[in-house]
Structure 1
Amino acid sequence: MTAVNPMQSVKLPPLTTPWTDTVTGDARLLRSVSDAFGGPVHLLDPARFTANTRDFAAAFDTAAVTGTVYFGKKANKASAFVDAIADLVTEDRRAGRNRRFGIDVASAGEFRQALAAGVRGTDLLITGPHKPTELLTLAVRHDAIVTVDSPTELKALADLSRGLRVRIMLRVLPNGTTSRFGMTDDELTFAEKLASERSSDITLLGYSFHLSGYSIRDRRDHAHRVIERLQAVRRTGRLAPDTISLGGGLPISYVQQEDWQHFLDPRAPHHFHAGKTFDSYYPYYSATTGAAALRAMLTDTDSGAVPLAHVCQDNDIKIFVEPGRALLDRAGITVFPVLGVKDRSPGVIVVDGTSLSLSEQWFDTEFVPDPQLVSEHTPIDEPPFFASVGAATCLESDMLTWRVIEFPYRPTTGSYLVYHNTAGYQMDSNESAFHDTAIPPKVVVTLDDGYPRWTLDRRENY
């Protein structure tokens, strides 16, 4: 019996790359990797990550701005991406170029992983809320830059740094927001005064901010306001800040514009398992993404203001940016073996794994790009199969995809569902060994003359 949904289903095919096309086009490769570890796996493409990171550095170069790209490490735990940054840092050092790459870390574990990969402390930026003493101590000993989130934290850092100079950024609370991160004007004034008084221990490099949402114009406008504060502090003559950080959160696209617009159309047919509904979704399409979004922030003039790049050039101001998801764009996929199918109308596909490996559920929403069905033997002339995707746990709510998907044919045990573009946060932000099952391993797949070869990510060997 083949369960067919008589109603139309909205399609959201994922954006792919030659790497993903090659890897998902080889069902035997997926089987060999999955069989080796006995379940779902995350496959990584470090070459794509490196290309994305180079694009960000090129955006700074094109705008004639001195900038550093810090990889937001929290977006993925794999060592492969840390190793890629280490290679870029080494390449620049050998070429005698200014420091253009580094890693944004927010825990002692991330700090040590970066050091183990060969990234020096001077190339690390420490972020996050009030940091534990262990992390601050590492920062002081290795000359990392610390983004300070409160006057209390700055005082603790100053007390730790006696005799050793520490470089800091002060995190600004954007006007009109209710974020728990960043400092108010009064708190910033206090922190600046403390930095001035402790100038033998503390070097104020500049100011950092992070805005929620994905508005390029809002970020550019706030950058101008932060620069105004930086210049005002310079004029006092007590401190000499010369850097601002634009933070992370730059948009990427998972699907084509027309597909995304069709999905958002209130007249479009939407079918979800058990009548599930969601109030909002991540913007799975953006017109300007990744390095192009950074370039637009630096050079666009649609607000009538002087381009941010010109302000930086005229005032000797450097820029940091801290992308995570944007550097990982299309640098990984997640493969779930199909365990079985319930032939209903619509059907339910049960896969080996859990929704904890698609962390968008953490935000009470859905990872909406269509999963790709891959089989060693593709049926011919079989009708499409409409189904949602459930996990191999005993929880009613553990659904990888609540939305009913139109698959090209009915899956069978031994087929695979591939979720694309999962390297940015989806893979491991929310994973756990629920039901005493193993957390899916991360596997690096490289193409050698077009032939895929795989190896376990170095971190999985610890």
Structure 2
Amino acid sequence: MAVTAGSGRWPAVPPLPDPATDAVLACGLLPELAHAFGGPFHFLLPDAFDANLRALQNALTAAGVDGFVYYAKKANKAAVFVERAAAGGAGVDVASVGELREALGHGVRGEHLVVTGPAKVPVLLRLAVRHGALVAVDALDELDTVLALARALAPAGGPGPARILLRCRPPQQPHSRFGMTDAELGTALDRCVRAGDGVRTEGFSFHLSGYALQPRADLAAQLVDRCLQARAQGLEADRISIGGGLPVSYTDADSWRTFLTGQHRRHYHAGRTFRTGDFYPYHSPEAGAHALAALLATRPEGHDRPLAGLLADAGVTLLLEPGRALLDRAGATVFRVQGVKDRGDYLLLTVDGTSLSLSEQWFDSEFLPDPRLLPQDDRAPAGLYPASIGAATCLESDMLTWRKVGLTRRPRTGDLLVYPNTAGYQMDSNESPFHDLP
């Protein structure tokens, strides 16, 4: 017997209201696009990017902090967000030759690029130095390559000294593969001093995993101290980069708390289990620009002033490299239901795409905000229809949603499923022509 309507409670992660997304879902265009494309697709809402960027910039201004925002391009491949970053007075964080060239080609000035990532290839470093981009140097051999490039380009009328930040390994994460140890930083500073006018050591950076504000504020304050020490050695050292790490809220606090306390293996296809720590924090009490404001108001350990005051007193510019926080509510992903199987107490759906279009599976996790069903026929039976969602591939593990999502109408072949708020790191990080699917 098919799953029947019911009034019982089912674990849910309802997305926060978003009028712009709702307007797209209500306009009737999505079924036409699904027919035209013949496969899954994403739609983008770049005005949300603009609003998020302005909010971050306003948070810096309100705190009295001199700052600059770089959009982390790895979070989404769409060129429109690079263009909106350039138009909005932001820079772009790139980590490959392709990303750097695309950013330049879409209007970002070279001096508004920051080049991150470990073990950068020489051609990337050459382009960065040639275009006056800021390079976050991750290792001593990388520093040597930058210094050599600066020397080689100087006689040819290069753009000026190579611009660098020295990336520090976070003391809180001693096993991080990013950044240099204290001893390596000491060596790097000595080499920068000896390089003279060939390099402009603008400051320090770090890559810190996680979303807690206190550790990020503590490490930022340590970098401010490093800037003051570097100035004593004759280096410029007037800025620090704290990377990204600004959380985004996808759902409300009560729903998230209820989900975490109530989730059980029976709520997942094949009894799949996830630990609470496996999930992105889909609710945060401080998110986006509010998280930045809270960070700047945080008092670092050992200091009696908030981070904003430390930055202002030291004359240090704060650099940010957010991705997800700029892309909050900036797009969604649409799949068509290809098949529906009755599995007794839930339905097993197959859609016309793969989990490569929901990249949270890459982290052995699950993208949890509830997808919304757009039925072809509004007369479809209403009620509670738990359903897990699989991909149109021959892999048992290729599940877009292991969780049995409580859909409010019975899904049928041809209906659409819309996953909300996927622009940040979800929709295209891992897409490929696997199976020659569209």
TM exceeding 0.5:
yes
Give the structure 2 partner of residue 185 of structure 1. 182
8 Å Cα contact 1:16/1:330 also seen in 2: no
What is the Cα deviation at residue 270 of structure 1?
5.0
What is the Cα deviation at residue 310 of structure 1?
1.1
2:99 is equivalent to residue 110 of structure 1:
yes
Q: Normalized against structure 1, the TM-score is what?
A: 0.89
In structure 1, C-alpha distance between the alignment counterparts of 2:178 and 2:218, rounded to whole Å? 19
In structure 1, C-alpha distance between the alignment counterparts of 2:26 and 2:207, rounded to whole Å? 39
Give the structure 1 partner of residue 14 of structure 2. 13
Partner secondary structure for residue 198 of structure 1: helix
Give the structure 2 partner of residue 250 of structure 1. 246
Give the structure 1 partner of residue 171 of structure 2. 175
Give the structure 1 partner of residue 198 of structure 2. 201
Aligned-residue Cα RMSD (Å) equals 1.6
1:160 pairs, out of 149, 172, 193, with 149
What is the Cα deviation at residue 86 of structure 1?
1.9
Give the structure 2 partner of residue 355 of structure 1. 355
In structure 2, C-alpha distance between the alignment counterparts of 1:169 and 1:376, rounded to whole Å? 54
What is the Cα deviation at residue 198 of structure 1?
0.8
2:229 is equivalent to residue 240 of structure 1:
no
8 Å Cα contact 1:8/1:269 also seen in 2: no
2:30 is equivalent to residue 33 of structure 1:
no
In structure 2, C-alpha distance between the alignment counterparts of 1:257 and 1:355, rounded to whole Å? 27
What is the Cα deviation at residue 380 of structure 1?
5.9
Q: Which amino acid aligns with 2:405?
A: I
In structure 1, C-alpha distance between the alignment counterparts of 2:123 and 2:263, rounded to whole Å? 54
Q: Which amino acid aligns with 2:407?
A: F
In structure 1, list runs of 5 or more residues that go unmatched: 90-100, 439-462
In structure 2, C-alpha distance between the alignment counterparts of 1:58 and 1:226, rounded to whole Å? 23
1:137 pairs, out of 126, 140, 165, with 126
What is the Cα deviation at residue 268 of structure 1?
6.8
1:295 pairs, out of 270, 293, 296, with 293
In structure 1, C-alpha distance between the alignment counterparts of 2:206 and 2:320, rounded to whole Å? 10
Give the structure 1 partner of residue 340 of structure 2. 341
What's the CA shift string for 1:69-99, capped at 9, x where partnerless?
000000000011011012113xxxxxxxxxx
8 Å Cα contact 1:4/1:386 also seen in 2: no
Give the structure 1 partner of residue 79 of structure 2. 79
2:116 is equivalent to residue 127 of structure 1:
yes
1:281 pairs, out of 273, 279, 282, with 279
8 Å Cα contact 2:11/2:262 also seen in 1: no
Partner secondary structure for residue 329 of structure 2: coil
Give the structure 2 partner of residue 216 of structure 1. 213
In structure 2, C-alpha distance between the alignment counterparts of 1:380 and 1:140, rounded to whole Å? 60
Partner secondary structure for residue 328 of structure 1: coil
What's the CA shift string for 1:79-136, capped at 9, x where partnerless?
11011012113xxxxxxxxxxx100000111111111111110110000001111111
What is the Cα deviation at residue 301 of structure 1?
3.7
Partner secondary structure for residue 320 of structure 1: strand
2:267 pairs, out of 267, 271, 290, with 271
2:51 is equivalent to residue 62 of structure 1:
no
8 Å Cα contact 2:70/2:93 also seen in 1: yes
In structure 2, C-alpha distance between the alignment counterparts of 1:394 and 1:247, rounded to whole Å? 39
What's the CA shift string for 1:219-274, capped at 9, x where partnerless?
011111111111112123x2121001111121111111100000111577851101
Give the structure 2 partner of residue 331 of structure 1. 330
Give the structure 2 partner of residue 94 of structure 1. none
2:257 pairs, out of 256, 261, 271, with 261
Partner secondary structure for residue 400 of structure 2: strand
Q: Which amino acid aligns with 2:289?
A: A
In structure 2, C-alpha distance between the alignment counterparts of 1:364 and 1:262, rounded to whole Å? 22
8 Å Cα contact 1:340/1:412 also seen in 2: yes
Q: Which amino acid aligns with 1:125?
A: V
In structure 1, C-alpha distance between the alignment counterparts of 2:304 and 2:339, rounded to whole Å? 58
Q: Against the structure 1 CA distance between its residues 295 and 401, is the aligned structure 2 distance closer, same or farther, given a 3 Å change threshold?
A: same
8 Å Cα contact 2:311/2:317 also seen in 1: yes
In structure 2, C-alpha distance between the alignment counterparts of 1:260 and 1:382, rounded to whole Å? 25
Partner secondary structure for residue 197 of structure 2: coil
8 Å Cα contact 2:163/2:201 also seen in 1: yes
8 Å Cα contact 1:9/1:270 also seen in 2: no
Q: Which amino acid aligns with 1:264?
A: L
The equivalences for 1:367-406 within 5 A come to: 367-379=367-379, 382-406=382-406
Give the structure 2 partner of residue 309 of structure 1. 308
In structure 1, C-alpha distance between the alignment counterparts of 2:406 and 2:128, rounded to whole Å? 51
Aligned length: 425
Q: Normalized against structure 2, the TM-score is what?
A: 0.94
Partner secondary structure for residue 31 of structure 2: helix
Q: Which amino acid aligns with 1:10?
A: P
What is the Cα deviation at residue 190 of structure 1?
0.8
Partner secondary structure for residue 323 of structure 1: coil
Q: Against the structure 1 CA distance between its residues 123 and 364, is the aligned structure 2 distance closer, same or farther, given a 3 Å change threshold?
A: same
Percent identity for Structure 1 against Structure 2: 50
In structure 2, C-alpha distance between the alignment counterparts of 1:71 and 1:270, rounded to whole Å? 40
